[in-house]
Structure 1
Amino acid sequence: MAESRHPSRIAGFVPRKLTPPPALWGFVLLLALVFSVSYAVGSAAGPVAPGMHGTGAATGGGTGGGGGTGDMPGMHGGGE
């Protein structure tokens, strides 16, 4: 019994490293690159519709806020 056994090599079990495969690192790097380029292009393009505001639709039905001010109906104090 002069042979010493390592506890992790029991019954032919060989532990693997707990690091992700290189292909996963490449995919994560590519994904980060695509999002970075997308963000840069979006920032350079600016807003899509600068004058666009919310719909201002009320929960009680009706046609909405109208007027293009972006305010919600009934929010001017004093109620309706």
Structure 2
Amino acid sequence: MTPPPGRRSVLTAPYVACAGFLLLLAAVFAASYGVGTLSGPVAPDMRGVSHQNDDPDMGDMGGTGHGGDH
């Protein structure tokens, strides 16, 4: 038993709207990823995580502990 043609469109409307929203969301994320890739790093020398000590002058910055030394 199939519903009448008018009733079928009412039942499928939420699924079509949800699919359209997800497609639009995917397009927006793809566009933002593309723009981000083209713009490059947002700060100087921001090219990923480095596991080496690149700046030996940073050493002990002093006063950055959680103690109460004012």
How would you bin the TM-score normalised by the shorter chain?
0.3 to 0.5
TM-score (norm 1): 0.41
The structure with the largest alpha-carbon Rg is 1
More helix by share: 2
TM-score (norm 2): 0.46
Q: Point out which structure has higher relative CO (alpha carbons under 8 A, 6+ apart).
A: 1
